[in-house]
Copies of this chain bind each other. A is one copy, B any other.
Amino acid sequence: MTGIGRPDEDGLIARYFRPLATAPGAAQLLDDAATYQPPEGHELVLTTDAVVAGVHFFPEDPPDAVARKALRVNLSDLAAKGARPVGYLLTIALTEDWSPDWLESFVEGLGADQEEFDISLFGGDTVRTPGPLWISVTAFGLATEGHVPRRNRAVTGQRIYVTGTIGDSALGLKIRLDQTLKGRWGLSATDAEHLLDRYLLPEPRVQAASIVANFATASMDISDGLAGDLGRMCAASDVGAVLEADRVPLSPAAAKAVAADPSALATVLTGGDDYEVLATVNPDDTEAFERAAKRAGLQVAAIGTIMPSFAGRVRIERHGHPLVLDRLAFRHF
């Protein structure tokens, strides 16, 4: 909370951000720093992700959705590491023309997500920028000591799982950029809305945290495309993978798009912003894993198998035949 002028900033913090600082260690944002003491037997898990207007979201997106996206991309990282979220620090860079209405709605979005995920704001910084608005969030959570599934522990023979459905967000971005796709893909208004919503507002799989901590050896969140992120997991673990495209779980809207336009499948498999969890599970544990997921109301699907290492690392198969994609990862950067 330093390094920026006060008369304005103090008022801004008091009005908009103080109500979000519900944890005692946040000291009502009246101090230079926050305190936090993890309970015994727990490890702290820390992650940071930023979003920039015009790069990671549209400047005209609803401010509450922008706020929640900035927060949720971080919660997704925590979930994939088996951690229950506790709190976050947030820096927002405002442009000269920021409006109280915009900020009010932004803060409402944060408040709604704090309630939904039972977390507190722990600190932050507000700065001025002549460039586009941006938000940087550092989130932290708690994992059981020794139970943080890393990326680099995928083992040959394991089954590969994903949560939720894949590709909705990337398809949503496509139809946002090209309105004609809605018709060409034969989407109903509801279908289109589903895809657009998934781009606007990720659903971090917070309920997956304890399940991946208990059953997965390797786990990560899918933010840059399923195929590319699976490749990254395989590289870290020095293994290969067969990805069965037919088994990749699709929403009804995504299924329509892929049926109407085969090229949409590439978008599904390589588009970014899924924020689902990718995890590998030993064959002996898959039944228990699936049962635990079901109990938690978490949709999971087995989509492939970890193999010994081979060149290229990831082979995608469809109807038993290899599928070649132009590029594996979606580039935000």
Binding site for B on A (CB under 8 A): 1-10, 12, 27, 30-38, 40, 42-52, 54-56, 73, 76-78, 80-81, 83, 89-91, 93, 122-132, 134, 136, 138, 140, 143, 145, 148, 150-152, 220-221, 223-224, 228, 232, 236, 272-273, 329-333
Q: Tell me whether A46 and B123 are in contact (CB under 8 A).
A: yes
Q: Tell me whether A129 and B132 are in contact (CB under 8 A).
A: yes
Known: A3-B223, A8-B331, A333-B5. A45 touches B30 (CB 8 A): no
Q: How far, in Å, is A7 (CB) from chain B's closest CB?
A: 6
Stoichiometry, copies per complex: 2
Q: Tell me whether A124 and B48 are in contact (CB under 8 A).
A: yes
- Give CA–CA (A17, B34) in the complex, Å: 26
Q: How far, in Å, is A3 (CB) from chain B's closest CB?
A: 5
Q: Tell me whether B32 and A80 are in contact (CB under 8 A).
A: yes
B-side contacts of A40, CB under 8 Å: 40
Q: Tell me whether A150 and B27 are in contact (CB under 8 A).
A: yes
Q: Tell me whether B46 and A34 are in contact (CB under 8 A).
A: yes
- Give CA–CA (A332, B50) in the complex, Å: 22
29 sampled A-B residue pairs with Cβ under 8 A = A1-B77, A2-B49, A2-B223, A3-B56, A5-B331, A5-B333, A6-B232, A9-B333, A27-B150, A32-B77, A32-B221, A33-B83, A35-B44, A35-B45, A35-B148, A36-B46, A37-B44, A46-B138, A46-B140, A47-B89, A48-B136, A48-B138, A51-B127, A55-B127, A55-B128, A55-B130, A127-B332, A130-B132, A134-B134
Task: Give me 12 other A-B pairs in contact (C-beta within 8 A), A127-B333, A131-B134 excluded.
Answer: A2-B73, A3-B50, A3-B51, A34-B46, A34-B47, A51-B127, A89-B138, A125-B136, A127-B134, A127-B332, A128-B332, A134-B134
B-side contacts of A138, CB under 8 Å: 46, 48, 89, 138
B-side contacts of A32, CB under 8 Å: 47, 77, 80-81, 151, 220-221
- Give CA–CA (A150, B224) in the complex, Å: 42
- Report, nearest first, the 8 A-B pairs whose CB atoms are least far apart: A131-B131, A5-B331, A2-B223, A33-B47, A138-B138, A136-B136, A5-B333, A32-B77
A151 (CB) vs chain B CBs: closest residue: B31
Q: Which of B7, B48, B148 contacts A91 (CB 8 A)?
A: B48
Among A42, A44, A124, A143, which residue has the most Cβ atoms of chain B within 10 A?
A44
Among A5, A50, A272, which residue has the most Cβ atoms of chain B within 10 A?
A50
Among A51, A125, A220, which residue has the most Cβ atoms of chain B within 10 A?
A125
- Give CA–CA (A31, B52) in the complex, Å: 22
Q: Tell me whether A48 and B224 are in contact (CB under 8 A).
A: no
- Give CA–CA (A126, B136) in the complex, Å: 11
B-side contacts of A1, CB under 8 Å: 47, 49, 77
